[in-house]
């Protein structure tokens, strides 16, 4: 009884660690990692402008009555 429960918990923990490792490998650095590293390396006056080249153009739609 306890062997089955222990094995199940072991599998859950192993899958959790593998999932976190895969997320770090393929997920890249984002979120708190990039904020923390950029705030330490840049001075307050030398902030870079955001790169908007990957964003699309804003289109304002109007409703049309039939």
What digits encode the pLDDT tens for the residues 40-64?
A: 555 555 566 666 666 777 788 888 8
pLDDT at 11: 97
Task: Please tell me the total count of domains within the chain.
Answer: 1
The position carrying tokens 């307050």 is 44
Structure-block tokens of residue 30: 């984002």
18 domain residue, yes or no: yes
Is 66 among the domain residues? no
Whether 49 is in a domain gets the answer no
Lowest mean pLDDT across 21-30, 33-42, 47-56: 33-42
Query: Between these two residues, 57 and 23, which has the higher pLDDT value?
Result: 23
Instruction: Provide the pLDDT for residue 18.
Output: 96
User: In terms of residue numbers, what domain contains 17?
Assistant: 2-36
Q: Angle at the Cα of 61 (from 58 to 63), degrees rounded to 5? A: 170
Residues 6+ apart with CB under 8 A from 37: 29
Residue 34: CA count within 13 A, CB half-sphere: 6
Please state the pTM of the whole predicted model.
0.40
């Amino acid at each position: 009884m306890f062997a089955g429960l222990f094995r199940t918990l072991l599998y859950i923990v192993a899958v959790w660690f593998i999932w976190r490792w895969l997320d770090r490998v393929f997920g890249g650095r984002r979120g708190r990692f990039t904020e923390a590293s950029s705030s330490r390396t840049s001075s307050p006056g030398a902030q870079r402008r955001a790169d908007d080249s990957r964003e699309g153009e804003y289109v304002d739609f109007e409703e049309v009555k039939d």
